[in-house]
Structure 1
């Protein structure tokens, strides 16, 4: 056997190490670029998914878990493809046409359909704003004994200031960051001792009870997930993306690439998946922590905050920390969604009346648009003084959203499937199938809840 040449061996080792390290650096650089690209892609779809878990959503999902345990866990995976399909259709409509939903309804379906649609979104959004602002105030009151009216006015002022005086690009960055707060529910789900086999079965095997209470909360559950304000918001925000990217020509024609559409779909899918993962987590945590310990009805914000106590049970002042986490989650969600609610109402009415609109415009150039935002927020504030508990009002608004979404989904199906409007980007069979399924599911839930109510069930 020939002796090993130590110098040659060292050279080979050095070469191998050099190759390994250079390859590792290239891989890490590629991953870094890929992650950076992914973060840049995340936009209206991700923000819409985050806004889907607003205070109304958090309260409704918490009530679902508290009242029916794991019985409605299956609604999260069931709603996911429907939510993705509806929001993808809305996003595609905005990106391809460069117009918001209200503008397209006005152009193709006449004034009666237009004003009925705008009335739906303005009324439901205004009530939703009121419920969310009230919930934010109640959440803050868990921590500091400030009068309710002061907190309501303060939160309304902050949200209005952010939307009117911040640019869309700047504000969107904060919206993305705020969306991460809701993941405390996912963390709690894996800290609590869970009956995972039972949860797995409940997640994928539907459970139905033919009672008014069960069907009404299903309607609220799906209604706060597939919510009308998200339809108008994401469509209009894709138009904002077109403007920012210079895709809209002088004549108003949009020039968009397949890559841009693919990025939009990825953004949308990630946002909606994250939304439903949080939904599932909230129901799991509420079922385990509240329902299993006899708390089946939420009367106050403090009742809802108990769901997070296991996350901090080993710390001193666990009750206070749970309230703090709950308050941060509700306030963050409110700051995220109240401008979305007001903004989508603003887009709808401004497009209908031909006003200048857009969060990229200054207040001096879009008085009407920002006037709608301000008015809807102030009316929402007034709703907090009619004597309805903010937590219960959140659930009621979710039911209202579920009913209001039905005719709007029908219009979205018609617009996204119209080749004269959408050209090469008209809806295909898969999109059409899931959007019609969403329409039928929400119609069925509303009819079933009404039927059982009339029967006295």
Structure 2
């Protein structure tokens, strides 16, 4: 679970049930495997077989480092990342970071809606445009009219939809010896195509919207639980809360990467083994599974797309709304009714409506999904620098600033993303 928190012993209430201890970390990790992630991991398995499984072992501790830094900022200060950045940087710099997040999230939302609509059409027929609008409207309605304390329960149960991809791997004929070899002894030919895929994997596992979301949800938890306060005001709560943060984040990111591994090996065992090396749409990926792995694999793949899509939509739209509302200094929060935070919900609705409009243009969902991951990767570096500077700032965090070991992990994640982004730019211009 990581280094033990410093300080006093945990209070008695820390002994609550396992499921209740899980929250922002689990939901954030599961939302990481959104349709964008599914598309990226399926492409990786189809094109490279078992060869890129190692990327998930590498990204796991890096994800934990940057997500824990984000969560700790929210829990310690009682504010989201935008407010933390505003205390350290000039307002125009913060505005640029928020704008980058908003653009990337809208592109990602549009791609996810398109993927969900395409899979639904494949399963039951009908117009894709109608499905995209319906999924967007249902997600928006749930966020607007269901209080956070109830909505978070829905999100936690939706994480179980990702187990569908374990089922896909189980019904496929996976060469587990080769799969494990690809995870620990990779044999990859490095070229522009490989670099682009590795960057896409990094971009979909270490995404800026996840940083903003987990920090914001820690703030929501403080408001939801009456006895909880920001740790800088109630340092006696720090030992228990920091242990919970570590447990929740390690488990959530581990769950995310384990599911991603099953996606890669399932695609390698079916699509790659069958000579289907290029998957151009989510529908094609689902349909290609049917002859080689049977109807069960197709159904599980489709259900997984829909379940994780409904989990990811509020995370993407919500993280953008939190960031923008904090920058504008208006009331915000999914626990508040629409009338109490109209600007926050207006931003959330605008992001979703823009994404719904883009999804209707007819852009290839699979290509949009992979490029959404690449966009996330390229814009992650400056935001990750901001997270690490904020988490390590004594002025902002006081004695509860991120410990050295976690700072090393967070900066390692930032460096890895920077190297991958530079490599992608260089190989793109060279090709």
TM-score, with structure 1 as normaliser: 0.87
**What is the aligned partner in structure 1 of residue 203 from structure 2?**
223
**What is the aligned partner in structure 2 of residue 446 from structure 1?**
421
Segments of 5+ residues of structure 2 without an aligned counterpart are 1-12
With over 3 angstroms needed to count, the CA separation of the structure-2 counterparts of 1:289 and 1:71, relative to structure 1, is same
Q: Distance in 2 between matches of 1:180 and 1:250?
A: 30
- 1:210-289 to 2 correspondence within 5 Å? 210-246=190-226, 253-255=233-235, 256-289=237-270
Match of 2:321 among 321, 343, 346: 346
**What is the aligned partner in structure 1 of residue 8 from structure 2?**
none
**What is the aligned partner in structure 2 of residue 9 from structure 1?**
none
Q: Distance in 2 between matches of 1:403 and 1:396?
A: 11
SS of the residue corresponding to residue 131 of structure 2 reads helix
Give the deviation of 1:244 after TM superposition: 1.8
With over 3 angstroms needed to count, the CA separation of the structure-2 counterparts of 1:34 and 1:426, relative to structure 1, is closer
Give the deviation of 1:254 after TM superposition: 4.9
Q: Distance in 2 between matches of 1:417 and 1:252?
A: 14
Give the deviation of 1:250 after TM superposition: 11
- 1:148-159 to 2 correspondence within 5 Å? 148-159=128-139
Contact 1:122–1:345 (CA under 8 A) maintained in structure 2: yes
Indicate whether 1:384 and 2:365 are aligned. Answer: no
Give the deviation of 1:245 after TM superposition: 2.3
Indicate whether 1:110 and 2:76 are aligned. Answer: no
Give the deviation of 1:292 after TM superposition: 1.0
**What is the aligned partner in structure 1 of residue 185 from structure 2?**
205
State the Cα deviation string for residues 93-145 of structure 1 (Å, max 9, x = none): 10011000001111221212210110111110011111111111111101222
Give the deviation of 1:324 after TM superposition: 2.9
**What is the aligned partner in structure 2 of residue 67 from structure 1?**
47
**What is the aligned partner in structure 2 of residue 55 from structure 1?**
35
Q: Distance in 1 between matches of 2:229 and 2:406?
A: 28
Note the aligned Cα RMSD (angstroms). 2.1
Give the deviation of 1:354 after TM superposition: 0.6
Give the deviation of 1:251 after TM superposition: 13
**What is the aligned partner in structure 1 of residue 150 from structure 2?**
170
Match of 1:369 among 335, 344, 348: 344
Q: Distance in 1 between matches of 2:401 and 2:231?
A: 21
Match of 1:45 among 14, 25, 33: 25
Q: Distance in 1 between matches of 2:39 and 2:190?
A: 23
Range with greater deviation from structure 2 (275-284 or 147-156): 147-156
State the Cα deviation string for residues 392-426 of structure 1 (Å, max 9, x = none): 11111010011111111101110111112112221
SS of the residue corresponding to residue 70 of structure 1 reads coil
TM-score, with structure 2 as normaliser: 0.92
**What is the aligned partner in structure 2 of residue 92 from structure 1?**
72
Indicate whether 1:127 and 2:107 are aligned. Answer: yes
Q: Distance in 2 between matches of 1:93 and 1:308?
A: 43
Contact 2:120–2:128 (CA under 8 A) maintained in structure 1: no
Contact 1:306–1:322 (CA under 8 A) maintained in structure 2: no
With over 3 angstroms needed to count, the CA separation of the structure-2 counterparts of 1:197 and 1:438, relative to structure 1, is same
**What is the aligned partner in structure 2 of residue 11 from structure 1?**
none
Segments of 5+ residues of structure 1 without an aligned counterpart are 1-32
Q: Distance in 1 between matches of 2:288 and 2:78?
A: 43
State the Cα deviation string for residues 197-225 of structure 1 (Å, max 9, x = none): 22222101244433111101111111000
Contact 2:45–2:263 (CA under 8 A) maintained in structure 1: yes
Q: Distance in 1 between matches of 2:32 and 2:227?
A: 28
With over 3 angstroms needed to count, the CA separation of the structure-2 counterparts of 1:170 and 1:434, relative to structure 1, is same
Aligned length: 418
Match of 2:280 among 299, 304, 308: 299
> Which one has the largest radius of gyration?
1
Contact 1:127–1:380 (CA under 8 A) maintained in structure 2: yes
With over 3 angstroms needed to count, the CA separation of the structure-2 counterparts of 1:208 and 1:422, relative to structure 1, is farther
Q: Distance in 1 between matches of 2:20 and 2:321?
A: 26
State the Cα deviation string for residues 53-102 of structure 1 (Å, max 9, x = none): 10100111000100111111100111000001111111111001100000
Give the deviation of 1:266 after TM superposition: 0.5
Q: Distance in 2 between matches of 1:89 and 1:303?
A: 38
SS of the residue corresponding to residue 177 of structure 2 reads helix
**What is the aligned partner in structure 1 of residue 4 from structure 2?**
none
Give the deviation of 1:248 after TM superposition: 6.4
Contact 1:49–1:271 (CA under 8 A) maintained in structure 2: yes
With over 3 angstroms needed to count, the CA separation of the structure-2 counterparts of 1:447 and 1:241, relative to structure 1, is same
Contact 1:132–1:394 (CA under 8 A) maintained in structure 2: yes
**What is the aligned partner in structure 1 of residue 167 from structure 2?**
187
